[in-house]
Amino acid sequence: MSSNAQSQTTATDTLESSDRELTYQQTILCAAVIGIAGGLVATAYYYVLEGSLHFVWHTLPDVLNPYFPSKFPAWNYVWIATTIGGFLVGVTLHLMGLPGEVSFVVDKVHDPGRISVRQTPAMILASLFSITAGGSAGPEAPLVQINGSFGGWLGQKLHLTLTATRVLTFCGMSAALGAFFGAPLGGALFALELPHRRGLEYYEALIPAVLSAILSFVVFRFNTGLTIGGMYHFAAIPKLSLTNLAQGAILGILGALIAVIFMYLFRMIGHLSEYLRHQTILLATLGGLSIGLIALVFPQTLFFGEKEIQTVVETGSTFGMTMLLAIAFAKMLAVCCTLHSGFRGGFIFPLFYIGAAVGLAISLAFPEIHPTIGMICMMAAVNVAVTKTPISTTVILGVLSDTAMVPVLVIASFVSFLLTTQVSLIKTQRSRTVFGGESPEVRLAAGIANT
Q: What per-residue string of b and e applies to 126-149 under the rule 16 or more CB within 10 Å gives b?
A: bbbbbbbbbbbbbbbbbbbbbbbb
Question: Angle, to 10 degrees, between the axis of helix 120-132 and the axis of helix 77-96?
Answer: 170
Specify whether 349 is located in the same domain as 292. yes
**Domain assignment of residue 447, yes or no:** no
- Structural domain range at position 345: 242-419
Specify whether 314 is located in the same domain as 192. no
- How many residues would you count in the chain? 451
**Domain assignment of residue 10, yes or no:** no
**Domain assignment of residue 128, yes or no:** yes
Specify whether 104 is located in the same domain as 212. yes
Specify whether 52 is located in the same domain as 135. yes
**Domain assignment of residue 52, yes or no:** yes
Specify whether 116 is located in the same domain as 150. yes
Q: How far apart are CA 376 and CA 412, in angstroms?
A: 9
Question: Letter for the amino acid at 279?
Answer: Q
Classify residue 238 as exposed, middle or buried by CB count within 10 Å of its CB (0-12, 13-18, 19+).
Answer: exposed
**Domain assignment of residue 7, yes or no:** no
pTM for this prediction: 0.89
Specify whether 370 is located in the same domain as 247. yes
**Domain assignment of residue 384, yes or no:** yes
Tens-digit pLDDT profile for the chain (451 aa)? 444 444 444 443 334 445 788 899 999 999 999 999 999 999 999 999 999 999 999 999 988 888 877 777 878 999 999 999 999 999 999 999 888 788 888 999 998 888 888 888 999 999 999 999 999 999 999 999 999 999 999 999 999 999 999 999 999 999 999 998 888 999 999 999 999 988 889 999 999 999 999 999 999 999 998 877 778 888 888 888 999 999 999 999 999 999 999 999 999 999 999 889 889 999 999 999 999 999 999 999 999 888 899 999 999 999 999 999 999 999 999 999 999 999 999 999 999 999 999 999 999 999 999 999 999 999 999 999 999 999 999 999 998 887 778 899 999 999 999 999 888 888 898 888 644 444 443 343 333 333 3
Specify whether 257 is located in the same domain as 331. yes
Q: How far is CA 296 from CA 79, 187, 293, 330, in A?
A: 8, 34, 5, 11
**Domain assignment of residue 436, yes or no:** no
Q: How far is CA 354 from CA 190, 262, 339, 378, 427, in A?
A: 19, 10, 16, 8, 22
Specify whether 307 is located in the same domain as 385. yes
Specify whether 290 is located in the same domain as 186. no
Q: Contact 352/393 with Cβ under 8 angstroms?
A: no
Domains in the chain: how many in total?
A: 2
CATH number at 182 reads 1.10.3080.10
Specify whether 197 is located in the same domain as 273. no
Specify whether 171 is located in the same domain as 56. yes
